[in-house]
Amino acid sequence: MSVSTTSRAGINSLTYYFDLIIHLITRDFALRYKGSAIGILWSLMLPLSQLLVLVFLFGKVVPLRIDAYPAFVFSALLPWVWFSTCLNSASSLFIGNRDLVRRPNFPPFILIIVNTLSNLLSYILFLPILIFILVLYGHYMTPYLLIFPLLILIQSILIIGLSLMVATMNVFYRDIQQIVTVAVMLLFYLAPVFYRSEIIGEKYHLLYTLNPIAVLIQSYRAIFFYGSPPHWGSLMLSAVLCVTVFAIGFFLYNRQLADVFDRL
């Protein structure tokens, strides 16, 4: 960078960024439900209605014959909702927050972290409901739940990496927004959210091992629904893929940042 700024005098940088991120997340939450009567309860609506549709469709209309189907779907639906909401909103993060991006001392990638964490928070708020449904169907907690934070970490890296690419490139080409919407929709059917990946057969196996979001979703389902460890091999492979995606995203963001300022 051509602008070298010495560290903020008297301010512990970490505390500052912590405060900044926490504040923006609270603000994001407050704004989303401000003025609505039932407030934060609205955030429950989208996943719950999606759950109802899927349960009705694949439990009654086209039965997939999976035991405890609502619990089966819900354990995978929540991480999927986190992933898809983040990506769909990522495209407007820079172009929609022009006034924040153009503030001195404000690193725009903070917006991406805030977006990721704020949607993660919705996910976390759902955990009691998920556990309630699991218990309802007789699935009890196992020590494998301790892997949960690791899965969250890997998925965060993936979401931040992809969001960096999407947010940056959408400043230059507004098509990205449309492409992402379509891609996320297609990915929903390619990820085993409402079906078992085993029924697809060996032929498409590669499609599921090389797709980090599919592997992650199966891992969540393993620890919550089956109470078994995730497939460590594919999980590690997708962790590597996620870090690669993040590195590419960060590289792209870093390279284009100066142009982003000029273009906004």
Partner 1 sequence: MTVREDMQTVLAAENVSKCFRIQRNRPHTLREMINQRLTGRYNSCSTLWALRDVSFLVRQGRVLGIIGHNGAGKSTLLRLLCGLGRPTKGRIHCAGNVGSLLELGSGFHLDMTGRENLLTGGILSGLTRRQVKAMEEKIIAFAELEEFIDQPVRTYSSGMYLRLAFSTAIHFKPDYLIIDEVLAVGDARFQQKCLERLKAFRAAGKSLILASHDLEQVRLLCDEVLVLEEGQVVIQGEPERAISCYHDLMRQRTEKRAEKLYGKGGGLSIATERGSRLGTQEAKISAVHLYSSSGESTDSICSGDSLTIELEYSILKPVNDMAVILGIYNETNIKCFETAIVSTNAIVGKIGEHGSLTCSLPGLPLLPGNYFVNVGLYPVKWDYVYDYHWQMHPLYILGSKEMFSGISGVVLLQPAWSISTIKNLVGMPVDTKETNVPAD
Query: Which parts of this chain interact with partner 1 (CB under 8 A)?
Result: 1-6, 8-9, 11-12, 15-16, 19-20, 22-23, 27, 30-31, 34-35, 99-100, 102-106, 173-175, 258, 261-262
Strand stretches in 98-185, DSSP E: none
The structure tokens listed for 119 are: 């949607």
Q: Which is nearer to partner 1, 159 or 171 (CB)?
A: 171
Shortest distance (Å) from residue 163 CB to partner 1: 19
Measured from the CB of residue 94, what is the shortest distance to partner 1 in angstroms?
A: 13
Sign for the CA dihedral angle at 94, 260, 248, 165 comes to: positive
Query: Structure tokens of 94?
Result: 């820079």
**Residue 65 CB, nearest approach to partner 1 (Å):** 43
Q: Which is nearer to partner 1, 9 or 182 (CB)?
A: 9
Between 58 and 253, CB nearer to partner 1 = 253
How far apart, in Å, are the Cα atoms of 130 and each of 82, 89, 136, 185? 14, 24, 10, 23
Smallest distance from partner 1 to CB 173, Å: 5
What is the spatial distance between Cα 34 and Cα 42, in angstroms, rounded to a whole number? 11
Beta carbon of residue 46, minimum distance to partner 1 (angstroms, whole number): 22
Closer CB to partner 1, 202 or 262, in the complex:
262
42-56 helix and 69-90 helix, angle to the nearest 10 degrees = 130
